[in-house]
Structures are given as structure tokens and as C-alpha cells.
Structure 1
Amino acid sequence: MALPPLATAADLAAAGATVTGPAADMALRRASARVRKYTRQTLTLVEGETITLAGGGRVLALPQRPLVVDAAHPLTVTELSGMTGIELACIEGRDFTRLGSELTRGEPWYQPTRLMGWPWNRPSGVWAPQVRVTYSHGYAEVPDDVVDVVLALAVMSLANPQNLRSEAIDDYQRTFAAETIGGGATLSRDHMDALRPYRRAAFTVAPS
């Protein structure tokens, strides 16, 4: 599924860009892709995504944030036993607690016995080796500081679509910023600083 740009054509025009149409749309897509690559976040709202995470610890960190959990966006967490095929549905407040994007496994609510099979032999308060999660995440409205970075990148890209280092017209010579060269604008240190609160550490997520 293609993700929508993090800023609109109207935003781009308000930022001072005079280019419209396909060129502007491409600049926004490229700028959004660079921001998402750096932050490792989709940022826009994604509803009901299903992923499988490696467990084995007390805390399970969901890769995308912020979490959106309400009546229309339920959080579903299921521990997977692996080879036996047994699945255990976990309930918030009973089996785990949630703080931000972290789910902390609690003590089991049942009395495990050998007759129950898995997970009787698993340490209490530890997630199963694999956990399947269906959750919604992202922002219904992209934060302004993220939009600002996307627009800055798009404007720079449109200012130098031919990736020139400099151009001369009669006695006038113009030198382009290094960030505008090389297939589209790149993130500057200031851009990275602005995006750092949204950036997450790398995760390995198994597709479901």
C-alpha cells in the first residue's frame, strides 16, 4: 500500500513553490520518503496493521508510534507457541500493561499445569518467543515540524531539478546548495535535529 505524502500541494504552494502538477507531486513523494527513511516511521495514520514480533523478554516494543487505541482501533495481542500451533490471546490490564509503544508482560492470570501444555514451562512475566500484534499507529494530522522538513526538501528539489552544481546566464552565476544535488534534496543536520524526536531504533519485524 502506497503511503500518502506527508505534506500537500497546497502546503507546498504556501511554502513559496511556484511549480505545480506532476513535478510538485514527485518532489513531495521524494521528500516524504526521505523523512520516513530517516525516522523509520510511517507517521501518517495506518489502521489495523498486523505484524509478528520476536518476544522472549518482559517488554515488547512496537515499532511504529504513536499507538492509536480506542473503540474504533482495538489493540490485539496474541502469543504464538510455534511448532505446537497453540495461540494465547492476551488482554491489556490482565496479561500486560501498556505504556507508550511498550507492552510489558505481567504474571499469568491462569494457574499453569503440565496438563495445559504450552506455556506451562515458560517463565512467568515473559512474552512467548513470537507475538502477533494488530494495531493502529501514526498521526491523523502530521505534526507541523515534520511537514516543515518535507516542504523544505521539496522546495530545494524543485529549485534544482537538473541536479546542477551551478549555472550561468550572461553575467549572472548561481551556485546551488550541496543538499540539492544528487537526485533530490537530502536531509541537513538541522532537518535531522528536527526529526530526531520521531526517529526510532532499528527493528526486525517478521511479516504476517
Structure 2
Amino acid sequence: MALPPLATTADLAAGGATVTGPAATMALRRASARVRKYTRQDFTLIEGDTITLAGGGRVLALPQRPLIVDASHPLTVTELSGMTGIELECVEGRDYTRLGAELTRGEPWYQPTRLMGWPWNRPSGVWAPRVRVTYSHGYTEVPDDVVDIVLDLAVMNLSNPQALREEAIDDYRRVFASETIGGASLNRDHKEALRPYRRAAFTVMPS
């Protein structure tokens, strides 16, 4: 599924850009892709996303943030046994606890039961090797600081669409910033601003 740009052409125009049409749209798409690639986050609100994650530990970290859980956005967590085909739907507050986007299975100081480690030959309080999760995540409105960075990159893309190092006309000579050559890239300030959103590399298993 193609995700929409993290800023709009109206945002770009409000920021002072004069380019419109397909060029502006493409610049925003390229800038959004750079931000998503660096942060490994979608940002856009996605409802009912189903993924299968590698378990095997006490804590299961969901890859996309922020996690949205309410009456309209249920969180469904199912342990998969593998070859037997048996599945166990886990219940928050009984089988695991949730803090942010991290799900912790069981508690090792409780009396071990089937709910704390399933099946019986697995250590108590540990997720099954594979866990299927259906959840909603992202922002209804992209954070302003993320929009600012996308617009900054888009403007740089538009300022040097031919990826020139410099151009000269008669006595006029213009040297382009290195970040705009070959497509605008994130600079140190951009990366620092995006650091709170960035997550570690993550592996999603095939369903």
C-alpha cells in the first residue's frame, strides 16, 4: 500500500514554494520517503494492520508507533504454535501487560500457569516463537516538526531538480548545497530532530 506524503502541496505553498503540480507532489513524495526510511516509521494512521512478529522473549515490541487502542481500534494478539496449528488469543491484563508499544508476557514471580507460558514445555512468561498482532498505529495529524523537515527536503529537491553541482550564466555562478545533489538528503539537524521518532531495525515475519 502506497502511503501518502507527510505534507501537502498546500503546506508547501504556505512555506513559500512557487512550484506546483506534479513537480511539487513528487518532491513531497521523495522527501516523505527519506523521512520514513530514516525513522522506520509510517507516521500515517493505519487501522487494523496485521503482522506476524518473532517472539521467544518476555517483551514483544510492536514496530510502528504510536499504538492506538480504544473501542474503535482493538488490539488483537494471538500466539501461533507452529506445526500443530493451535492458536491462543491473548488478553491484555491476563496474559500480558502493555506499556506504550511494548507487550510483556506474564510475570515470572507469579505461580506458573498455562497462561504464563504456552505450551507447557516453554519457559513461563515467554511469548511463543511467532505472534500475530492486529493493531492500529500512526497519527491522525503528522507532527509539526516532521512536516517541517519534509517541507525543507522538498524545497531542496525543487531548488535543484537536475542534481547540478553548480550552474553559470555569463558572470552569474551558483553553487548548490551538497545535500541537494542526487536528491535532497537529511542533514545532521534533521536527524537530530527525528531521533525521538526513530526505532531500531525490526524484523516482521512472513504470515
Structure 1 equivalent of residue 52 of structure 2: 52
- The one-letter code matched in structure 1 to 2:204 is V
Structure 1 equivalent of residue 203 of structure 2: 204
Structure 1 equivalent of residue 97 of structure 2: 97
Q: Does 1:173 pair with 2:163? A: no
Q: Distance in 1 between matches of 2:100 and 2:126?
A: 19
Q: Distance in 1 between matches of 2:60 and 2:164?
A: 47
| 5+ long unaligned stretches in structure 2 | none
Structure 2 equivalent of residue 3 of structure 1: 3
Structure 2 equivalent of residue 126 of structure 1: 126
After TM superposition, give the deviation of residue 110 of structure 1 in Å: 9.1
After TM superposition, give the deviation of residue 100 of structure 1 in Å: 0.6
Q: Distance in 2 between matches of 1:110 and 1:88?
A: 17
Aligned partners of 1:77 and 1:89 also within 8 Å: yes
Q: Distance in 1 between matches of 2:146 and 2:21?
A: 22
CA deviation profile, 1:101-148 (whole Å, cap 9, x unmatched): 100001599954xxxxx6122221111111000001111100001001
Aligned partners of 1:48 and 1:135 also within 8 Å: yes
Q: Does 1:38 pair with 2:38? A: yes
Q: Distance in 2 between matches of 1:6 and 1:163?
A: 23
After TM superposition, give the deviation of residue 170 of structure 1 in Å: 2.1
Report the secondary structure of 1:151's partner residue: helix
User: Hey, which bits of structure 1, 4+ residues long, moved more than 6 A?
Assistant: none
| Aligned-residue CA RMSD (Å) | 1.5
Q: Distance in 2 between matches of 1:68 and 1:207?
A: 23
After TM superposition, give the deviation of residue 169 of structure 1 in Å: 1.9
Structure 2 equivalent of residue 193 of structure 1: 192
TM-score using structure 2 length: 0.94
Q: Distance in 2 between matches of 1:76 and 1:43?
A: 21
Structure 1 equivalent of residue 149 of structure 2: 149
| 5+ long unaligned stretches in structure 1 | 113-117
